[in-house]
């Protein structure tokens, strides 16, 4: 790993996810609250003078040409005309296809890191637009803090959230996001909420306990459909719900429970059934790259 520099790519959860409409091009309009977690993939990058972008390790099920890290580097290179190259090694810890944003976070970290290491100095706004070309969640990770999101996920406002810990579990199933969004049972006309209403509920909950900041008014519209198709997700969610207001992140398959402290989170996690993988994480206030 000589000459490689390590960059952290954090996971995210959706504290809620509403589908409020659909554009003519088929993209769904949503409202969500993104929260960063201190559970990371690590992206190792070595800049080169060759102009070649290459991934130096294998990722099962992810061909190099489809890897969002490689695609992000190539996009940045093409956009700027940069003649430099990069070697990229991805150490995955965030479950793939779990609704935790791992691939999007990895891509955002590559854009942020190479913008700095290639000395391109593109403004954050420009990187946000580039990120959207790679995926709807990528701009959030470039934005760098917890956020209220609208549009297809690219319209972002900073969101202040109280400290909390999360038990995150992933059943052994891969949820097809395209299948869920195409399902005729999916609600696509949820009445839009306001960031003020969400923040008000979140603020009230800090006087009581974590885990009650979203209530029944802010749900995941995809959760009911996913649970009807994937009994593994339904069972995992059901197990976690015995401890509080557990819910699904994104399009699944990962589910999470917010609790007030690490001890509570770890006690719950230690009791999880053997069939589930997962982790305990603390909510972050900002992306670790912001401190670089």
Return d(Cα 263, Cα 222) in angstroms, integer: 30
Return d(Cα 104, Cα 263) in angstroms, integer: 30
Q: Which of 12, 67, 92, 221 is catalytic?
A: 12
Q: Which of 92, 137, 221, 234 is catalytic?
A: 137
Annotation says 12 is catalytic:
yes
Return d(Cα 205, Cα 41) in angstroms, integer: 31
Annotation says 137 is catalytic:
yes
Active site residues: 12, 137
């Amino acid at each position: 790993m000589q000459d490689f520099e390590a960059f952290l790519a954090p996971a995210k959860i959706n504290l809620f996810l509403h589908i409020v409409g659909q554009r003519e091009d088929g993209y769904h309009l949503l409202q969500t609250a993104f929260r960063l977690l201190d559970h990371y993939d690590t992206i190792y990058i070595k800049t080169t003078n060759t102009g070649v972008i290459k991934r130096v390790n294998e990722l099962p099920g992810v061909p190099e040409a489809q890897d969002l890290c490689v695609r992000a580097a190539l996009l940045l290179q093409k956009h700027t005309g940069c003649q430099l190259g990069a070697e990229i090694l991805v150490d995955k810890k965030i479950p793939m296809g779990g609704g935790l944003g791992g691939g999007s976070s990895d891509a955002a970290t590559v854009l942020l890191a190479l913008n700095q290491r290639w000395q391109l100095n593109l403004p954050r706004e420009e990187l946000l637009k580039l990120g959207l070309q790679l995926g709807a969640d990528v701009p959030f990770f470039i934005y760098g803090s917890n956020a209220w999101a609208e549009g297809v996920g690219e319209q972002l406002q900073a969101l202040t959230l109280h400290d909390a810990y999360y038990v995150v579990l992933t059943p052994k199933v891969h949820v097809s996001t395209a299948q869920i969004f195409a399902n005729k049972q999916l609600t696509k006309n949820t009445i839009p909420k306001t960031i003020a209403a969400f923040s008000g509920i979140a603020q009230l909950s800090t006087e009581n306990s974590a885990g009650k900041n979203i209530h029944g008014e802010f749900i995941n519209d995809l959760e009911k459909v996913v649970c009807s198709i994937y009994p593994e997700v339904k069972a995992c969610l059901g197990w976690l719900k015995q401890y509080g207001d557990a819910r699904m992140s994104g399009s699944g398959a990962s589910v999470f429970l917010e609790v007030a402290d690490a001890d509570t989170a770890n006690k719950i996690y230690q009791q999880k059934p053997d069939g589930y993988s997962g982790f305990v994480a603390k909510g972050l206030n900002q992306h670790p790259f912001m401190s670089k």
